[in-house]
Amino acid sequence: MTDDVEVDFGEDGLVPAVAQDADSGEVLMLAYVSPEALELTRETGRAHYYSRSRDELWEKGATSGHTQSIREVRVDCDADTLLYLVDQTGGACHTGHRSCFYRTVDGDDVGERVFDPDDVYE
């Protein structure tokens, strides 16, 4: 029998979560998770996050249809960062790219654009 790991949500009540494609290992995005977002993720099997800019809970893909089905949630050694291993439907990035990490610091575009955000976020 295993016991749940107590996640350290820190002073602001949030932890970073990296979303990674469960099959390819591609890093798709980084977002923040509140205790409620983690609970909903575990209950529904769909990725939930907390938007610091909008100050609200959100389900990935609720607007766009570009969802993340959770295969597994992992926690790091300090219990203050999560890894969501996901099956990504469509793009993970609101810019239309498969991954939010679609460019280098030199400004080179190295990622695949999989949808037009103007068509999705009217």
Q: Residue ranges for the binding site for Mg(2+)?
A: 76, 78, 80
Binding site feature residues: 76-78, 80, 93, 100
Whose CA is closest to 89, among 60, 110, 55? Answer: 60
Tokens matching residue 88: 């990504």
Within the chain, where are the H helices? 35-44, 117-120
Binding site feature residues for Zn(2+): 77, 93, 100
Distance CA 53, CA 72 (A): 27
